[in-house]
Amino acid sequence: MVMVTSANPGRLGIYGFRHRKGVSYKEGYIANALSVKEEKLWDILARRGDRVCIVSIPPGYPPTPVNGELISCFITPDANREYTYPPALKQEVEKIVGPYPFDVEFRIEDRDGLLKNLIDMTEKHFRVIEHLLTSRNWDFFMFNEIGVDRLHHAFWKFFDKEHPKFVPGNQYEQVGLEYYKRIDLHIGRLLSKIPKDTIVLVVSDHGAKGMRGAFCFNEWLINEGYLVLKERPQKIVDLDDAAVDWGRTKAWAWGGYYARVFFNLKGREAEGIIAPEDFERERATLTDKILEIRDPNGRKMDTKVYRPEELYSVSVGDKPDLMVYFDDLYWRSAGTLGHDSIYLSENDTGPDDAVHSLHTP
């Protein structure tokens, strides 16, 4: 949405897919198409009469009216929902590929099954894209192929020789190259079917690189006295399912590629304990402690901590109090509890050996 609105995350009020609902301790929501209040590029084009085709641009569900055609994105719950604009386009899509596949389950151990589903999804996406490209009169066409992202998460350690878990000669070592060749062939086919003077942009919303590990941020906050539990969980649980003593807790965190930290403020949270006049001091103190965190080998991580308001001149919506990027994003933030260590060699929510980054090394 930053690309198509020219508004940064602070102005959009979108800091990730999942957001905290107001000042609730446990309630959250997923940003969707209705969360975007800024005017999008295709809205501007529509005002001058240009027709558009928009396919799988997140957040694209629920489908919203455009001057042309739209298919929603991978946050669509399933193909039983309305996922096109106009609604009749859904029948047209399903005549071509059957139920439209929005995503694949990618944090699983069955790599053979995943690869089969990944290729099947990608082929169906491009069949629909080519159909729209050649059957509609459009002035602007934009699509996103989520399969590239899913390939990275599921197979990065198999083809990245720098990944700590790379094994030479493994059966999936060529999967990345083969998949990218497939994508290139599809793009070449699309390019052959559009007018020669068409301006074509190939863009990405993020890079990727190998994950060194997951840092159990909430476990660390417990050790530092910020997060207090009434009792330790007997198994690995989400923070929402833990017995948090909110009346004694100063701060907690959400996991993800970057971590989001929330402070427990008097007058804001229901059981807040930090006085408003102490908020900035507490935020600065915790920031300093986070910047001193080291990896399992004792190396100081290249960690960055930001306040949303220092990143963005405007920061609206349900923003976190701190945003933490562990070790230049080589370490993912794990928000779950019940681990024996603050360091995990694996992702805490299923197999995933790649992390997002600003660029792909």
What is the token pair recorded at 320? 């976190």
Of the chain, the percentage scoring pLDDT greater than 70 comes to 100
What is the token pair recorded at 101? 């596949």
pLDDT in tens, 177-213: 999 999 999 999 999 999 999 999 999 989 999 999 9
Question: Confidence class of residue 358 from pLDDT cuts 50, 70 and 90?
Answer: confident
Q: Which ranges in the chain belong to alpha helices (H)?
A: 2-5, 9-12, 41-47, 89-97, 111-135, 147-159, 175-191, 217-223, 279-290, 308-311
- Measured between alpha carbons, how far is 7 from 35 in angstroms, rounded to an integer? 13
Question: Confidence class of residue 78 from pLDDT cuts 50, 70 and 90?
Answer: very high
The SS3 assignment for 129 reads helix
pLDDT in tens, 222-250: 999 999 999 999 999 999 999 999 999 99
- Judged against a pLDDT cut of 90, whether residue 292 lies above it is answered with yes
pLDDT in tens, 114-158: 999 999 999 999 999 999 999 999 999 999 999 999 999 999 999
Judge contact between 25 and 244, C-beta under 8 A. Answer: yes
Instruction: Choose the weakest-confidence range: 48-62, 131-145, 180-194, 337-351.
Output: 337-351
- Measured between alpha carbons, how far is 328 from 93 in angstroms, rounded to an integer? 41
Place of tokens 């060529």: 174
For the segment 164-188, the average pLDDT, to the nearest whole number, is 97
For the segment 87-116, the average pLDDT, to the nearest whole number, is 97
- Judged against a pLDDT cut of 80, whether residue 361 lies above it is answered with no
pLDDT of residue 346: 87
